[in-house]
Amino acid sequence: MQRKLVAVDWGTSSLRGVLINSEGIVLEKRAFPQGILQVAHGQFQHVFEQRFGDWMGADTLCLISGMAGSRQGWREAPYCPCPSGFEDIAQHLQWIEKDRMGIVPGLSTWNDDTPDVMRGEEIQIFGALAAQQIQTAQFVLPGTHSKWAQVLDGKIAAFKTFMTGEFYALLSQHSILAKTCLPDAPLKKEVFIDGVMQSQKSGGLLHHAFSARSLALFEKLNPAQSSSYISGLLIGEEIKSAKADRLDDSTPFLILGSGQLTQRYGFAMEALGLSATALPDEVTWTGLWALAHHLFPQDFI
Amino acid sequence: MQRKLVAVDWGTSSLRGVLINSEGIVLEKRAFPQGILQVAHGQFQHVFEQRFGDWMGADTLCLISGMAGSRQGWREAPYCPCPSGFEDIAQHLQWIEKDRMGIVPGLSTWNDDTPDVMRGEEIQIFGALAAQQIQTAQFVLPGTHSKWAQVLDGKIAAFKTFMTGEFYALLSQHSILAKTCLPDAPLKKEVFIDGVMQSQKSGGLLHHAFSARSLALFEKLNPAQSSSYISGLLIGEEIKSAKADRLDDSTPFLILGSGQLTQRYGFAMEALGLSATALPDEVTWTGLWALAHHLFPQDFI
C-alpha cells in the first residue's frame, strides 16, 4: 500500500506541517502562528482538523513532533531517557489514533543530578542522521533554547540546553542595555566577533553583559552595533561552555537551524577555531518521514 | 568654624539624605522614591530644595554621591580613572556652588580594552576604609549591578561590575522560568546553596539557568524554592567569575550592602570557602563625612 504522510511540527509558538507522498516528496507546506500556547485546552483536535483535516485521507499517516507532546500540549508523550535512538522513539510514540496519528516523544537526560529535556530537536537530529547517512555526530541546534547533542552509534547519548536566544531577548529588550540597543538591527559581523572574543575572557557573562553598557557610555558602541555585540557575547558564552562536552576534535559539528542564526553560529565557531557545517532546517520533515518508513516500511519507500 | 553636612545619595531610583553635625553625628534622615529617572530635566535644584532646603543653613556643606553626577543627572561629574583615592575624588568634585554644594565623581577602569564604571560605590568604599582604618582591602557591593573592587594603599586599583541583580529580575519575572517561580518568596537556604553549587559545575549560566526549568518539570523544585535556586545560581556565578581577581587569600572580603542581600552573599561565599565580613550599609554617610573632613578639616572634626 502507498500511504501519504502528514508531518507536523507543533511548537510553543508556531504550527507547521507538510504533506509528503509515499516516496518522500513534499507536496504541500503550511505554517500558522498557532503554537500550543495559542490553543485552548481541549481544542487541539479541532485546530488540527481545521488546519490539516483536508490532507487526512483514509490511509494517511500523521506524525507530530514538538511541544504538542508536552504536558501543556495535545497529549503528553513521556520523555525517552538518553541514550535513545530512532527505535526508542518509534516504540514510544503516543498514538492518538493507532497507526494513523501519533505524537513523537521528547528526550530527557541527566547531567550530574540535573535533568535536561528536548522536544522536537530529537526528530531534527534523527532526520539529519538519515539525510547524512551517519551514526556518530555532534549537533548544535541554535534557538531560544539552544541544544548541543552528542550522537554515538545512532543514539543521542547526551545533550545540554542553553537559554541563549531567551537571554538575548531579555537583555536587548528588557534590561538596562535596551536603552542603547536596536535589537533588530542587521548583523555587523566585526562587532559580533568582538562580542564573541570578549565572552572568552575572564569575568563571565554577568560581567561581560555590562560591557555593552559601559562601551555605550564611552561611545564605543552605538545602538545599531550593540545588538550584534550582545548576540556575540551570548553565542560566544554558549560555545565556550558547550564545547567542553565535545566528542573529539575530529568529529565536525553539524548546525541545524534557520539561515540567519546558523550563519551567526558559523561565524562564531570559525572565530573560535571549531569546525562546523550548517544543514538546512528541513531535517524535521526528513526525520518524520524516516520515522514513517521505520514504522511502515511497506508503505513509505 | 563648625559646619553641618547634608550628605545625599541620589541614585537611579531613590533619593536619600542625612543631616550630620560637625562631629559626624547623624541628626536626621530622609528617603524618597525620587531617583534621577523620576526627576524631569532641569528640575534637580528644585527637587533638592523641596526635600532638603530646610537643612541648608548659610554655612552648611552639601555633598552628593551617586547617579546625580551622571550625564542624565543634575550635573555630569566626569569619572576619575583607576587607580583613584580619596584625594582624587576630592580634587575632582563637581561644585554646583563652590565650597558649599558638590557632586562626587564616579570611577572608571579598564579591563583589557573594556571600560567599567561606578557611581556611588566609590564613596561607600572610602567610607568603609575610613571606618575600618585600613588601606588595603577587597570589597563586594551586591546589588542590581554588583561591584567587586580591589583597594591598594588607599586607592581603588580596579573593579568589575556584574549584572547579577538585574539578571535575577529578568529571569524570575520575565523569562520562561517566571512561570514556575515566586520571585519574592523568602530565602530557602538549602535550595539557595544547591544553586550556588550548581553554578560552579561546567555548563555555564546559560545552561544552568535552564535547570530551574527542567527541575520544575521533574517536580524537584517548586515555585517557592525556585527563586532561591535562581538567586543561588546567579550569586554563585558572580562569585565564581569575580574571585579570579582577588588580591590574595589572606585579605578578607568586605561585603557592603543591605541586610538580606549581604546575608545571601555571606552564605554563598562561606559555601565556596571564601572568608567574608559584612559591614553595614551606612558607610555612604561615613564616606561623605570623611570627604567633608578631608576638604575642610577645620570645620568637620
Same domain, A95 and A170: no
Name the residue of chain A whose CA is nearest to B12's CA: A176
Indicate if the pLDDT at residue A263 is higher than 80. Answer: yes
Contact B10, B64 (CB under 8 A): yes
pLDDT tens per residue, range B269-300:
999 999 999 987 689 999 999 999 999 999 99
Q: DSSP state, A160?
A: E
Output phi, psi for A145, to 5 deg.
-125, 90
Q: Chain A closest CA to B258's CA: distance in Å? A: 20
Residue B247, classified by CB atoms within 10 Å of its CB into exposed (0-12), middle (13-18) or buried (19+), is middle
**Residue A149 belongs to some domain of the structure:** no
Tell me, rounded to whole angstroms, the distance of Cα A142 from its chain centroid: 6
pLDDT tens per residue, range B222-232:
999 999 999 99
**pLDDT score for B281:** 62
Do A115 and B211 count as a contact with CB atoms less than 8 A apart?
yes
SS3 category, A187: coil
Share of chain B above pLDDT 90, in %: 89
Q: Exposed e or buried b for every residue in A116-126, given b needs 16+ CB within 10 A?
A: bbbbbbbbbbb
- As for the ipTM of the complex, it is 0.95
Cis peptide before B83 (omega within 30 of 0): yes
Q: Domain span at residue A199?
A: 162-279
Mean pLDDT of A6-21: 95
**Residue A218 belongs to some domain of the structure:** yes
SS3 category, A299: coil
Same domain, A175 and A85: no
User: Which chain A residues are within 8 Å of B206, Cβ to Cβ?
Assistant: 146, 162-164, 167, 205, 234, 237-238, 241
**Sequence-separated (6 or more) residues with CB below 8 Å from residue B26:** B18, B19, B20, B285
User: Which chain B residues are within 8 Å of A215, Cβ to Cβ?
Assistant: 114-115
**Residue A144 belongs to some domain of the structure:** no
pLDDT tens per residue, range B24-67:
999 999 999 999 999 998 999 999 999 999 999 999 999 999 99
Same domain, A129 and A169: no
**Residue A243 belongs to some domain of the structure:** yes
**What's the pLDDT band for A209 if we cut at 50, 70, 90?**
very high
Same domain, A24 and A100: yes
What value does the mean pLDDT of chain B take?
95
Mean pLDDT of B76-92: 97
Angle at A196 between CA A181 and CA A12, to 5 degrees: 65
Closest alpha carbon to A66 in A40, A34, A41, A97 = A34
Same domain, A233 and A275: yes
Name the residue of chain B whose CA is nearest to A107's CA: B214
Output phi, psi for B282, to 5 deg.
-75, 10
Rg, chain A, Cα only: 20
**Sequence-separated (6 or more) residues with CB below 8 Å from residue A71:** B217
Same domain, A238 and A120: no
User: Which chain A residues are within 8 Å of B106, Cβ to Cβ?
Assistant: none
Residue B89, classified by CB atoms within 10 Å of its CB into exposed (0-12), middle (13-18) or buried (19+), is buried
**Residue A34 belongs to some domain of the structure:** yes
CATH of the domain at A39: 3.30.420.300
pLDDT tens per residue, range A24-60:
999 999 999 999 999 998 999 999 999 999 999 999 9
What value does the mean pLDDT of chain A take?
95
Same domain, A109 and A188: no
**Residue A219 belongs to some domain of the structure:** yes
pLDDT tens per residue, range B144-178:
999 999 999 999 999 999 999 999 999 999 999 99
Same domain, A166 and A100: no
Share of chain B above pLDDT 70, in %: 100
Same domain, A97 and A123: yes
Same domain, A125 and A167: no
Number of domains in chain A: 2
**Residue A237 belongs to some domain of the structure:** yes
Rg, chain B, Cα only: 20
Residue to test with chain A: of B147, B162, B163, most A Cβ within 10 A: B163
From the list B115, B160, B176, which residue is nearest A207 (CB)?
B160
Same domain, A76 and A38: yes
**Sequence-separated (6 or more) residues with CB below 8 Å from residue B137:** B128, B129, B151, B251, B254
Q: How many residues does this entry show for chain A?
A: 301
Same domain, A169 and A232: yes
Contacts by residues B38-47 (CB-CB < 8 Å, ≥ 24 positions apart): B38/B13, B44/B68, B44/B73, B44/B74, B44/B75, B45/B74, B47/B15
CATH of the domain at A271: 3.30.420.310
User: Which chain A residues are within 8 Å of B241, Cβ to Cβ?
Assistant: 202-204, 206-207
**Residue A47 belongs to some domain of the structure:** yes
Q: DSSP state, B24?
A: S
CA distance readout (Å), B114 to A33, B60, B99, B145, B240: 41, 40, 35, 16, 20
Cell 564613596 sits on residue: B123
Do B115 and A215 count as a contact with CB atoms less than 8 A apart?
yes
